[in-house]
A and B are shown apart, each in its own frame.
Chain A
């Protein structure tokens, strides 16, 4: 059972990284990025292409792919998302949804629907003895590096001036502008950063998940449930909910396998009945 719990936490790492990016983007821009899963998928394919076509190993890809996709995200925000934000939120909904479909199909056209193989980095090929059981070293690495990334983002958000501005702009964008801060200037890097986090999760996923065009679409539904459970726009909530959902669905898988596909949604319904704004969400107090 402990091993299953560990599996859950590793799976939860991906939820947490993706939910974190979604939460930051939603908080700052008010945009629900439906293309988030597609960028996760592009991250995994980025790692695959880097190895296949350029001979760049996992470690290079882990740095390079999120950077490149993050820049692509920033350009996307500048060119499209920014123009749609002042309009009905539905426009960005449609835009990011359409973008996800386009990205998926472009990759499918090139690589088909079959999963591409991606080897584990040789440094992490073995297993680690965790006392009660041995566990693949790569999975331990994924959990550690995801947790570290979440902590790093948390520190930046709570301890730095940039983080302070992001929090302020998330809570009261208009007032923050009136206090002399050019909120618009921060929106682009924040969007790019959220995308980079998704790509980072994608690269991490490549050696242990099937690399195929639909991997993001499969995952993102759960991630949206995670974000809702954590509280829309709550950074801490989305990370905590990410790991919690991973854990719960793994244990659910173990004890009630028949419900494995829907445990997360049962959890979401239960949380929403108990706290309509999510676990760490604040009721919308302002216009």
Chain B
């Protein structure tokens, strides 16, 4: 599904990613774990094609066997990349429903079914109640639901989620876990940036540990369970 080869990225002179190579297979949930500043967010931004405005990148990124390295962000989105940014990315000047409808449905077929608006509202009834309100008037947890619903509505095939559980109550964290497992069943692939190791271990099939812009380890679910304490200590949480 996703293949990254020798990806390096710089902010001016500072190198943020050092020859990252990784892959995510179809239908997998994979997390990127690492300390603040390890390069997780930069990696997602590079995958989405958003790093170019800040600095150089090198290496190749391919999605479903097609090289997307030279494509602008909107073209990548149309090939099925669904981006959930670290600051949620809700528009204050758009209503809840407009926030949902803004992103166009992914054209290229073969992916999971796009969620019709009706399904979004059935799954998240509160969004229906608030559909005319400005997006940013929702609570943090509801905003995160909105952002997830937004990419599900497009029928994105590969979700790039940057810390969707950050700052949320355990109830919402659990809900996000349920949704991710549900969409995986429907054929969606997920790459998740996560500081919450416990949550990561509960939803993901595999994990990449990122440190100083390098992938230092690749772990499967059982390895993470065994080493959860060690990882928590390493992450400094």
Residues of A in contact with B (beta carbons under 8 Å apart)? 86, 164-165, 167-168, 170-172, 174-183, 282, 286
Cβ of A172 and Cβ of B91 under 8 Å apart?
A: yes
B177 at the interface (CB under 8 A from A): no
Partner of B73, one of A177, A282, A286: A177
Cβ of A171 and Cβ of B92 under 8 Å apart?
A: yes
**CB under 8 Å from chain A, chain B span 51-88:** 53, 72-78, 83, 85, 87
Residues of A within 8 A of B179 (CB): none
Cβ of A178 and Cβ of B102 under 8 Å apart?
A: no
Q: How far is the CA of A172 from the CA of B94 in the complex (A)?
A: 11
Cβ of A180 and Cβ of B91 under 8 Å apart?
A: no
Contact sample, A vs B, 9 pairs, CB 8 Å cutoff: A164-B98, A164-B101, A167-B93, A168-B91, A170-B93, A171-B92, A178-B48, A178-B73, A282-B92
Q: How far is the CB of B38 from chain A (nearest CB, A)?
A: 20
Residues of B within 8 A of A180 (CB): 74, 77-78, 103-104, 106, 154
Q: How far is the CA of A260 from the CA of B140 in the complex (A)?
A: 49
Cβ of B92 and Cβ of A179 under 8 Å apart?
A: no
Q: How far is the CB of B128 from chain A (nearest CB, A)?
A: 19
Q: How far is the CA of A178 from the CA of B87 in the complex (A)?
A: 14
Cβ of B85 and Cβ of A178 under 8 Å apart?
A: yes
Cβ of B98 and Cβ of A178 under 8 Å apart?
A: no
B89 at the interface (CB under 8 A from A): yes
Cβ of A165 and Cβ of B102 under 8 Å apart?
A: yes
Q: How far is the CA of A170 from the CA of B48 in the complex (A)?
A: 20
Q: How far is the CB of B156 from chain A (nearest CB, A)?
A: 9
Residues of B within 8 A of A86 (CB): 53
B50 at the interface (CB under 8 A from A): yes
Cβ of A177 and Cβ of B74 under 8 Å apart?
A: yes
Cβ of B91 and Cβ of A181 under 8 Å apart?
A: no
Cβ of A175 and Cβ of B93 under 8 Å apart?
A: no
Q: How far is the CB of B21 from chain A (nearest CB, A)?
A: 23
Cβ of B73 and Cβ of A168 under 8 Å apart?
A: no
Cβ of B103 and Cβ of A179 under 8 Å apart?
A: yes
Nearest 8 interchain pairs by C-beta: A180-B77, A179-B103, A177-B73, A178-B83, A167-B93, A178-B73, A182-B74, A175-B89
Q: How far is the CA of A216 from the CA of B194 in the complex (A)?
A: 55
Q: How far is the CB of A23 from chain B (nearest CB, A)?
A: 13
Q: How far is the CA of A175 from the CA of B78 in the complex (A)?
A: 14
Q: How far is the CA of A171 from the CA of B99 in the complex (A)?
A: 12
Partner of B91, one of A167, A177, A183: A167
Partner of A164, one of B53, B85, B102: B102
Q: How far is the CA of A2 from the CA of B53 in the complex (A)?
A: 53
Q: How far is the CA of A235 from the CA of B106 in the complex (A)?
A: 31
Q: How far is the CA of A165 from the CA of B53 in the complex (A)?
A: 21
Q: How far is the CA of A164 from the CA of B73 in the complex (A)?
A: 19
CB nearest to A185 among chain B residues? B74
Q: A178-B85, A180-B154 are in contact. Are A171 and B73 (CB under 8 A)?
A: no
Q: A174-B53, A179-B83, A181-B104 are in contact. Are A168 and B77 (CB under 8 A)?
A: no
Q: Kindly list 18 other residue pairs between chains A and B, CB separation below 8 angstroms, not including A167-B91, A167-B94, A174-B50.
A: A165-B102, A167-B93, A168-B94, A168-B102, A171-B91, A171-B92, A171-B93, A171-B94, A172-B89, A177-B73, A177-B74, A177-B77, A178-B73, A178-B74, A180-B74, A180-B78, A182-B72, A183-B74
Residues of A within 8 A of B104 (CB): 180-181
Residues of B within 8 A of A182 (CB): 72, 74-75
Q: How far is the CB of B194 from chain A (nearest CB, A)?
A: 20
Residues of A within 8 A of B77 (CB): 177-180
Of the candidates B78, B102, B154, the one having the most CB atoms from chain A within 10 angstroms of its own CB is B102
Residues of B within 8 A of A282 (CB): 92
Q: How far is the CA of A86 from the CA of B53 in the complex (A)?
A: 8
Residues of A within 8 A of B75 (CB): 182
Residues of B within 8 A of A164 (CB): 94, 98, 101-102
CB nearest to B80 among chain A residues? A180
Q: How far is the CA of A176 from the CA of B150 in the complex (A)?
A: 12
